[in-house]
Amino acid sequence: MTEDNFLNNIRSPEDLKKLSVGEMYQLAEEIRVKLIETVSENGGHLASNLGVVELTLAIHSVMDLPKDKIVWDVGHQSYTHKLLTGRCGLINTIRRENGLAGFPKRQESEYDSFNTGHSSTSVSAAFGIASGSTISGDKHYTVAVIGDGALSGGLALEGINNAGRSKENLIVILNDNKMSISKNVGSMARYLTSLRIRPTYLDTKSRVHRGLNKMPVLGKRLSHIISGTKRWIHKNFFGHEPTMFEQFGFKYYGPFDGHDIAQLQTALQAARRVEGPVLIHICTIKGKGYEYAEKDPRVFHGISAFDIETGEPKSSSKGYSDVFGDFMCRTAQDDKKVCAITAAMAMGTGLSDFAKKYKKRFFDVGIAEEHAVTFAAGLAVENIIPVFAVYSTFLQRSYDQILHDAALQHLHIVLAIDRAGIVGEDGETHQGIFDAAFLNTIPDTTVFAPSSFAELDDMMYQALYETQSVAAVRYPRGGELFIPEDYKYNKSDYSIYGNTDADLLIVTYGRLFSYACQTYEEMKKNGIDVCILKLNRIKPVSDDAWAAASGFSKCFFFEEGIKCGGIGETFGIGLYQRGFRGHFFLTAIEGFVPQAKVDSALHRLGLDAQGMKEKLLAEITEWSDEKYGEKEKA
Pairing of strands 537-539, 494-498: unpaired
The string of DSSP codes covering 373-424 is HHHHHHHHHTT-EEEEEEEHHHHGGGHHIIIIIIGGGT--EEEEEES-B---
554 Cβ contact partners less than 8 Å away, ≥ 6 residues apart: 503, 504, 505, 582, 583, 585, 619, 620
The string of DSSP codes covering 273-296 is TSSS-EEEEEE--TTTT-HHHHH-
Q: Which amino acid is at 604?
A: R
Q: DSSP letter for 456, please.
A: H
64 Cβ contact partners less than 8 Å away, ≥ 6 residues apart: 140, 141
Candidates 248, 47, 280, 240; CA nearest to 145 is 280
Report the C-alpha gap between 479 and 498 in whole angstroms. Answer: 24
Backbone φ and ψ for 189, nearest 5 degrees, come out as -60, -40
Plot region of 604 (φ>0 → left; ψ -120 to 50 → alpha; else → beta):
alpha
Q: Which amino acid is at 54?
A: E
Burial of 461 (0-12, 13-18, 19+ CB in 10 A): middle
3-state DSSP call for residue 495? strand
Q: Which amino acid is at 19?
A: L
Catalytic residue of the set 69, 95, 96, 286: 286
Report the C-alpha gap between 168 and 121 in whole angstroms. Answer: 18
Report the C-alpha gap between 545 and 550 in whole angstroms. Answer: 9
The string of DSSP codes covering 525-547 is HTT--EEEEEESEEESPPHHHHH
Q: Is 397 a catalytic residue?
A: yes
Answer yes or no: are the C-beta atoms of 473 and 459 closer than 8 Å.
yes
CA 150 to chain centre: 12
Q: Which amino acid is at 161?
A: N
End-to-end CA distance of the chain: 59
Candidates 194, 159, 192; CA nearest to 174 is 192
Q: Which amino acid is at 277?
A: P
Report the C-alpha gap between 36 and 47 in whole angstroms. Answer: 9
**Cis peptide bond N-terminal to 443, omega within 30:** no
Catalytic residue of the set 30, 54, 168, 369: 369
Catalytic residue of the set 397, 477, 511, 615: 397
Q: Is 360 a catalytic residue?
A: no
3-state DSSP call for residue 310? coil
Q: Is 286 a catalytic residue?
A: yes
What are the residues facing 70 on neighbouring strands? 143
Q: Which residues are catalytic?
A: 286, 369, 397
